Chains A and B, each alone.
Chain A
């Protein structure tokens, strides 16, 4: 629940074929407890940016500050949810996965399992606490991943297209669930997507990126009361506005 500053961040990938820009001079800020979506055409550098904020990648230029402190490497102040269902540890039950972060803090077994159970309750999966990930559906696995990222109570939740691989119906359910979780926990969230409707549904503010090599094109504040109605005129207006900013690229995707 802390403010985040992204200051003039650029990253260049060094590959055998030469240098490839990942992102280019990205700057924006995120307020505490704000839900920010990053949208942009495929390959513009959304994942790169998120990985920099998570501490998996070090920017070539610029810096990230969380609560005024420069980010160096990974840390328990951030929770991360990836797109890939394979992110869960297959050798641990849902409960074991969710308790992992607390276990790393050295919390004693009973306490961490109680907390993990509460988190599973938040994503409505208490009944599946003892199931292994391969017995859960994709949507359920992503819910476990969200519970796992929240369990050790990080200030910031980073999500990289967590629902992109789900079918449309499940995806709608998941968006509702995430909006609900956010309302209850009030985490600062950075959420990457290239789905414009998803961004309008979830975000306080949407950061639109330009095509590769990506930088910030514009920011759009979503001034709609929650829970949002995806069929309302205002909702569709926002969607149209974002699509216009994205131009051809989004229309094609």
Chain B
């Protein structure tokens, strides 16, 4: 079986699932059991979405949300990967940070929102920091596990070949831990995406996908809410499949360190 036909098959299967879910929803929306304002039909939602895209509001909402999520996520990667690797390499770093991580991690990031609003006010700073908080721990823990899973033979081989500690880090440990690091990126982004929408509901003003949904509640605009939810789902899907999926394909799958997902 060729690669292309596998892709087509899996795309078709996904399409069938989505169509079925859409049909169920549409039947319910048209059944008259619920008020039309609460359960708009799919064409209505689509119309709203197109209108919001055309007048540019949706584009701005997406832009704000993406800015916050990417900023916070990048910070989390910049802190989580090096710190996780240092924890895996040095016992002292592990002893210091592991209890801290274990204590902070179980606190839901959204529980910090009121505190952060108090400290940083409403706006980008708070939402970005919430994203950072949500994404750091999965990144950190995966990088930490990744280092401990690096094959000791690679370290020995690199050691006899004269690798300095810095070279060892970049040329052996990071690529050697890459299956875990990529899993960490994935999980971290997922958490970040969930957190940004939640944080925007509470701590953003005027812009952002989370804020739109929350704002639409005031006016009973169910179509706006659903249109925003669809966009949130789509962007999440794009990142998961296209960004992280491709990253996986050109690295760990190409290197045979991880096998491709079964289609």
Contacts and interface: CB of A to CB of B under 8 A. Distances in A.
- Most B CB contacts (10 A, CB to CB) among A100, A103, A135 go to A100
Contacts of B153: 82, 84, 86-87
B256 A100 contact: no
Contact of A80 (B151, B160, B172): B160
Interface residues on B, range: 20 to 34
A214 B89 CA distance: 33
Interface stretch (A28-36, A70-78, A113-121): A70-78
B257 interface: yes
A91 B251 contact: yes
B161 A104 contact: yes
A91 B94 CA distance: 27
A54 to B, nearest CB: 6
A228 to B, nearest CB: 30
A105 interface: yes
Contacts of B124: none
Contacts of A134: 255-256
B157 A80 contact: yes
Nearest to B251: A91
Most central of A55, A74, A90, A133 by chain B CB within 10 Å = A90
A104 B163 contact: yes
Contacts of B162: 75-76, 101, 104-105, 152
Given A87-B153, A89-B175, A54 B160 contact: yes
Interface of B: 151, 153-154, 156-164, 167, 171-172, 175-176, 178, 251, 254-257
Interface of A: 54-56, 74-76, 78-80, 82, 84, 86-87, 89-91, 100-101, 103-105, 132-135, 148, 152
